[in-house]
Amino acid sequence: MVNGILGDNEKFYLIHGQAFWVKNGLFESMYLTTPREVPKVWRDIGFSWYLSYTQIYNLFECLGFEVNVNIEPQNEIFKGKESFKARLTAVNSLRNLKVTLNFLYGIGKDFNSENTLYSMKFVPIKKKGI
């Protein structure tokens, strides 16, 4: 069952409350924001929204991802309060997967503060010629 259609070739399906975007019949992306429930299989490997930047970085490395820093950890003012901001991209070529992790709006102030992850976007790695 299609839950939404944005155009002739772009649709999304809600599966266990998560939106899976499909374009031209192929998986395009999945985007999650806190505090959505983490799938059990992710919890089983140690993932939680409440992990710190450092813990998430290390977890993805342990899972075989190459982790790149896109936005260096920094503080910014959000709603009049200091908050932590950073962005990581984790790539696993064997799994054909790229994950963008945005750390925003959290009350923590540094890379060891818990609960600073705001969103994750999962996309397949585009193959040349496809």
Note whether 41 and 84 are same-domain residues.
yes
Q: Are 82 and 75 in contact (CB under 8 A)?
A: yes
> pLDDT tens digit string along 107-117?
778 888 888 99
Q: Are 69 and 86 in contact (CB under 8 A)?
A: yes
Note whether 44 and 105 are same-domain residues.
yes
Note whether 28 and 58 are same-domain residues.
no
pTM of the model: 0.81
> Considering its fold, how many domains does the chain have in total?
2
Note whether 12 and 62 are same-domain residues.
no
Encoded tokens for 69:
């820093």
In a domain, residue 130? The reply is: no
Domain encompassing residue 3 = 1-33
> pLDDT tens digit string along 48-94?
988 999 999 999 999 999 999 999 999 888 888 888 999 999 999 98
Give the helix ranges, DSSP H, for 32-74: 40-44, 53-62
Note whether 68 and 8 are same-domain residues.
no
As a whole number of angstroms, the distance between CA 118 and CA 81 comes to 16
Banded pLDDT at 2 (limits 50, 70, 90): very low
The residue type found at 33 is T
User: How would you classify the pairing of strands 4-5 and 26-33?
Assistant: unpaired
Note whether 90 and 52 are same-domain residues.
yes
Note whether 41 and 76 are same-domain residues.
yes
Note whether 45 and 27 are same-domain residues.
no
In a domain, residue 21? The reply is: yes
In a domain, residue 129? The reply is: no
